[in-house]
Amino acid sequence: MFPPSSSVCPLTKLLSIEALTFRFWGQGVVPGIELRTYACWGQLPPLPWASPAQSRPVGVLLWWEPFGGRGPASRPTPDCRLRFNISGCRLLTDRSTYGEAHAVLFHHRDLVRTAEELELPRPPGQRWVWMNFESPSHSPGLRSLESNLFNWTLSYRADSDIFVPYGYLYPRSHPRDQPIGQVPPLAQKRGLVAWVVSNWDERQARVRYYHQLSQHVRVDVFGQGGPGRPVPDSGLLHTVARYKFYLAFENSQHLDYITEKLWRNALLAGAVPVVLGPDRANYERFVPRGAFIHVDDFPSASSLATYLLFLDRNLAVYRRYFHWRRRYAVHITSFWDEPWCRACQAVQTAGDQPKSIRNLASWFEQ
Residue ranges of domains in the chain, CATH in brackets: 58-164+333-364 (3.40.50), 170-332 (3.40.50.11660)
Q: pLDDT below 70 — which residues of the chain?
A: 1-55, 69-74
pLDDT score, position 323: 97
- Specify whether the CB–CB gap between 153 and 360 falls below 8 A: yes
pLDDT score, position 49: 54
pLDDT score, position 24: 39
Which residues are catalytically annotated? 134
pLDDT score, position 223: 93
Q: Please report, as a single letter, which amino acid is at residue 169.
A: L
User: Which secondary-structure segment (H or E) carries 91?
Assistant: strand 89-92
pLDDT score, position 19: 32
Number of C-beta neighbours around residue 193 at 10 A: 23
Q: Which residues contact 10 (CB under 8 A, 6 or more apart)?
A: none
Number of C-beta neighbours around residue 284 at 10 A: 23
d(CA 59, CA 101): 5
pLDDT score, position 18: 32
Number of C-beta neighbours around residue 12 at 10 A: 5
User: Which secondary-structure segment (H or E) carries 210?
Assistant: helix 205-213
pLDDT score, position 44: 47
Q: Which residues contact 134 (CB under 8 A, 6 or more apart)?
A: 108, 109
Q: How large is the greatest C-alpha to C-alpha distance in the chain, in angstroms?
A: 69
Q: Please report, as a single letter, which amino acid is at residue 45.
A: P
- Specify whether the CB–CB gap between 313 and 286 falls below 8 A: no
d(CA 214, CA 219): 6
- Specify whether the CB–CB gap between 362 and 140 falls below 8 A: no
82 by Cβ neighbours in 10 Å (0-12 / 13-18 / 19+) ranks as exposed
The Cβ-side half-sphere exposure at 9, using a 13 Å CA radius, reads 23
